[in-house]
Amino acid sequence: MDSPASHNQRQNGTTQSHALLLFGFLPLNWALFAVVVIGFATYYYYRRPKGIPPGPNGVPVLGYTPFLGQKPAEKVLELSKQYGNVFSIYLGSQLTVILNDYDAIKTAYNDYSDIFVDRKPGFAHRALNGASNGPINGGPDLRVRGLTMTNGDQWRTMRRFALTTLRNLGMGKSRLQERILEEIDFFCETLRSKKMKPVEPDNLMIACIANIMFAVCFDKRFDHSNPQFKSIVDFLIIALPTLSNIGALQLFPWLRLIPGKFQKFWATFRREVTQLRSIFAEELAIHEKKYKEEHGDVRDYVDAFYDQQQKEGEQGSTPNYFDDDELLVEISNFFGAGAETTATTITWAYYFIVRHPDVQKKMQEEIDMKVGRGRHVTTEDKAKLTYVEAVCSEVARMGSVVPLGIGRSTTEDVQMNGYTIPKGTYIMPNLWFIHHDPKHWGPDANEFKPERFLDSEGRVLNPPSFMPFSIGKRHCPGESLARMEVFLFVTNVLQNFNLRLEEGYTLKPPEDYINGLTTRPPRFDVIFEPRD
Q: pLDDT digits over 415-466, tens only?
A: 999 999 999 999 999 999 999 999 999 999 999 999 999 999 999 999 999 9
What is the pTM (predicted TM-score) of this model? Answer: 0.88
Range 494-504 average pLDDT: 96
The answer on pLDDT for 295 being more than 90 is no
Residue ranges covered by each domain of the chain: 145-400+435-530
Q: For position 391, what pLDDT does the model report?
A: 98
What single-letter DSSP state applies at residue 107?
I
The answer on pLDDT for 16 being more than 70 is no
Lowest-pLDDT choice from 24-38, 213-227, 275-289, 431-445:
24-38
First and final CA of the chain: distance in angstroms?
63
For residue 202, give every residue at least 6 positions away whose Cβ sits within 8 Å of its Cβ, in sequence order, or none. 343, 344, 347, 520
For residue 444, give every residue at least 6 positions away whose Cβ sits within 8 Å of its Cβ, in sequence order, or none. none
Provide the H-helix boundaries in 371-506: 386-399, 431-434, 438-441, 479-496
Confidence of residue 110 (pLDDT cuts 50, 70, 90): very high
For domain 145-400+435-530, which architecture applies?
Answer: Orthogonal Bundle (1.10)
Mean pLDDT (the chain, rounded):
87
Q: For position 42, what pLDDT does the model report?
A: 59
For residue 131, give every residue at least 6 positions away whose Cβ sits within 8 Å of its Cβ, in sequence order, or none. 139, 141, 143, 145, 325, 329
Range 121-147 average pLDDT: 78
Interhelix angle 28-46/4-22, nearest 10 degrees? 150
Environment class of residue 100 by beta-carbon count within 10 Å: exposed (0-12), middle (13-18) or buried (19+)? Answer: buried
The span from the CA of 196 to the CA of 202, in Å, is 17
- Torsion over CA: 188, 189, 191, 197 (sign): positive
The answer on pLDDT for 168 being more than 60 is yes
Q: pLDDT digits over 335-375, tens only?
A: 877 888 999 999 999 999 999 999 999 999 999 999 999 99
Q: For position 515, what pLDDT does the model report?
A: 86
Q: Cα separations (Å) of 461 from 299, 360, 454? A: 35, 20, 5
Confidence of residue 205 (pLDDT cuts 50, 70, 90): very high
